[in-house]
Structure 1
């Protein structure tokens, strides 16, 4: 089993484990801390994380800023990529295409899906992320191209 996924499963079993795990990710990649994400689900090829609607992530019209949603999308995509990597493989974001589909208010959740990675093959693997509001309306979506290659 992937070591990150194993760590997640261990941490998620404790009352504050998901929050602690999320903070460890933010410590490793500090910019994510600006949105204070909390990972809620993680499995091979699947991740869900949430952010709260708070003033620190607002734009000038009082909704969640577009870049905060980009940050949530990249957080979800990065965690699912790390948890889905087979032994001997690594990843790095290669590009991101986003669409802003509506005003983002309230608690937002990012849902990331990643297709299977072929061990030993170099290539680009898309991670699709949808950000939904509390009633389940998609307010933002992204496709993040992950460059995957064997570790040297």
Structure 2
């Protein structure tokens, strides 16, 4: 099991474990802290990350800014990619296509899914992220291409 998934599985059962894991991710990549993410679920091929609407991520019409939702999609895709990598593999984002589908208000959750990565694989792997509001409506979606390859 890789170190990201191992850390999640060790921390998440404890009362502040999910919060601690989320803070650790933000220490590694500080820009993610702007949206105050909280991981709710993480496994090979699947992640759920929650954010709450707050003034610092508002746009001019009082809803969650489009780029804050891009940031949510990126943290979902990045961490599920790290958690899903077989030993001896690496990844890097290669591109992102997004759609803004509705006004984003309140508590939002990003749901990331990806297929299994084959050891030794080289090429592009899509990660699909849907951002849903509290009513379960998809307000944003993204496809993030990650490039995977064996470590040298």
Q: Using the alignment, how far apart are the partners of 1:86 and 1:121 within structure 2?
A: 10
Q: Residues 27-66 of structure 1: matches in 2 within 5 Å? A: 27-66=27-66
Q: Which runs of 5+ in 1 are unaligned?
A: none
State the partner residue of 1:95: 95
TM-score, structure 2 length as denominator? Answer: 0.99
Q: Using the alignment, how far apart are the partners of 1:70 and 1:49 within structure 2?
A: 13
Matched position secondary structure for 1:113: strand
Q: Using the alignment, how far apart are the partners of 1:11 and 1:57 within structure 2?
A: 28
Q: Cα offset for 1:2?
A: 2.0
Q: Aligned residue pairs: how many?
A: 152
Q: Which runs of 5+ in 2 are unaligned?
A: none
Q: Residues 2-151 of structure 1: matches in 2 within 5 Å? A: 2-151=2-151
Q: Cα offset for 1:4?
A: 1.2
Q: Using the alignment, how far apart are the partners of 2:9 and 2:40 within structure 1?
A: 11
Q: Using the alignment, how far apart are the partners of 1:132 and 1:111 within structure 2?
A: 8
Q: Using the alignment, how far apart are the partners of 2:26 and 2:7 within structure 1?
A: 15
Tell me the alpha carbon deviations over residues 90-114 of structure 1, each in whole angstroms, 9 at most, x when there is no partner: 0010000000000000100000001
Q: Using the alignment, how far apart are the partners of 2:15 and 2:49 within structure 1?
A: 16
Q: Cα offset for 1:122?
A: 0.7
Tell me the alpha carbon deviations over residues 63-121 of structure 1, each in whole angstroms, 9 at most, x when there is no partner: 00000000000000001000000000000100000000000001000000011111112
TM-score, structure 1 length as denominator? Answer: 0.99
Coordinate RMSD, CA, aligned: 0.5
Q: Which runs of 4+ in 1 moved over 2 A?
A: none
